[in-house]
């Protein structure tokens, strides 16, 4: 880090600055600001929102060392998400703001404020190293017939990177292919494998699922997913899937039910301008 950056006041979400990253609603929390002696900052306040109104909480000196003064401010956690930024003296106009985007010599909006959440933290495994896999492109365990929508590709063929055929090019990667490489993935220190969608769909990316009730047979089906999960768990790894229930393909059972009956529960899942001829879709397609 350059000397110029070391001379600037600093705050972030790490333990040195926020010892308790998951405060309790209605409780209090201390946040810290590191102020280098080389800066022109002598006082600081924390701007928070309480009952819909901004408030300033004055920070006091917590400790000092040869290079820095550490300031502490004690905040009331009045909302489930606590947003805040630092108001400092000094600067070209006698004041400056410090938020998640850096130091500013002018007034700033709330968008880049620091944030703390009272919601339960994610499980420990979800914060470890993740390895994302696009199943069609990772590894192939066997040859399977390509479906009617697909453009079959050999493993070393060039990738179609743009145009309407991008989503139709099918290399045939599958879940057993992933399982065969788990030792390599584990050797990288990976704790979680994050799979892009694995449901049946008329595309290689599978974001336009036709059902959420089974694994695509092109990937090996439910049995291959069970084998992959067991092999990953045996190595101490987790599996996480991309479950996109806020959208699906036109072949999905929900959408087909919505087309067939405008009074069906599934029809409320979609936006029809003129049932069944016109409905909202991705990019209007």
The CA-based dihedral angle spanning residues 70, 80, 245, 259, taken in that order and rounded to the nearest 10 degrees = -140
Instruction: Name, in order, each residue with C-beta under 8 angstroms of 59's C-beta and a sequence gap of 6 or more.
Output: 33, 43, 44, 45, 46, 71, 72, 73, 86
Residue 285's pLDDT is 61
Domain ranges, ordered by start, for the chain: 3-117, 125-251
The tokens 């600081």 sit on which residue? 44
Question: For residue range 122-144, what is the model confidence (pLDDT) as tens digits?
Answer: 888 888 899 999 999 999 999 99
Q: Is the distance from CB of 199 to CB of 211 less than 8 angstroms? A: yes
User: Shortest CA distance to 98 belongs to which of 54, 57, 44?
Assistant: 44
- Give ∠ CA 112-114-117 in degrees, rounded to 5: 125
Q: Is the distance from CB of 223 to CB of 230 less than 8 angstroms? A: no
Burial level of 112, CB count in 10 A (0-12/13-18/19+)?
middle
Question: For residue range 36-79, what is the model confidence (pLDDT) as tens digits?
Answer: 988 889 999 999 998 889 999 999 999 999 999 999 999 999 99
Architecture in CATH for domain 125-251: Alpha-Beta Barrel (3.20)
Q: Which residues of the chain have pLDDT under 70?
A: 1-4, 285
* Domain spanning 3-117: CATH 2.60.40.10: yes
Residue 50's pLDDT is 85
Residue 22's pLDDT is 86
Sign, Cα dihedral of 20, 22, 24, 28? positive
């Amino acid at each position: 880090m350059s000397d110029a950056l070391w001379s600037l006041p600093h705050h972030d979400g790490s333990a040195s600055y926020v010892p308790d990253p998951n405060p309790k609603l209605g409780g209090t929390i201390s946040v810290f600001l590191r102020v280098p002696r080389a800066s022109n900052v002598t006082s600081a306040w924390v701007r928070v929102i309480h009952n819909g109104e901004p408030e300033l909480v004055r920070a006091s000196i917590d400790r000092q060392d040869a290079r820095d003064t550490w300031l502490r401010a004690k905040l009331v956690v009045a909302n489930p998400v606590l947003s805040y930024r630092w108001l400092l003296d000094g600067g070209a106009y006698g004041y400056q703001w410090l938020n998640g985007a850096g130091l500013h010599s002018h007034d700033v909006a709330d968008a880049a404020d620091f944030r703390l959440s009272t919601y339960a933290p994610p499980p420990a495994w979800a914060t470890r190293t993740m390895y994302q896999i696009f199943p069609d492109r990772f590894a192939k365990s066997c040859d399977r017939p390509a479906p009617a929508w697909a453009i079959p590709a050999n493993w070393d063929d060039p990738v179609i990177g743009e145009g309407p055929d991008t989503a139709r090019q099918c290399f045939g990667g599958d879940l057993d292919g992933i399982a065969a490489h788990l030792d390599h993935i584990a050797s990288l220190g990976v704790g979680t494998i994050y799979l892009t969608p694995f449901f049946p769909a008329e595309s290689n990316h599978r974001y336009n699922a036709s059902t959420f009730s089974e694994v695509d047979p092109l990937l090996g089906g439910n049995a291959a997913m069970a084998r992959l999960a067991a092999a990953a768990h045996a190595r101490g790894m987790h599996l996480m899937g991309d479950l996109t229930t806020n959208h699906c393909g036109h072949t999905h059972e929900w959408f087909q039910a919505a087309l067939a009956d405008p009074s069906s529960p599934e029809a409320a899942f979609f936006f029809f301008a003129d049932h069944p001829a016109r409905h909202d879709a991705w990019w209007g397609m």
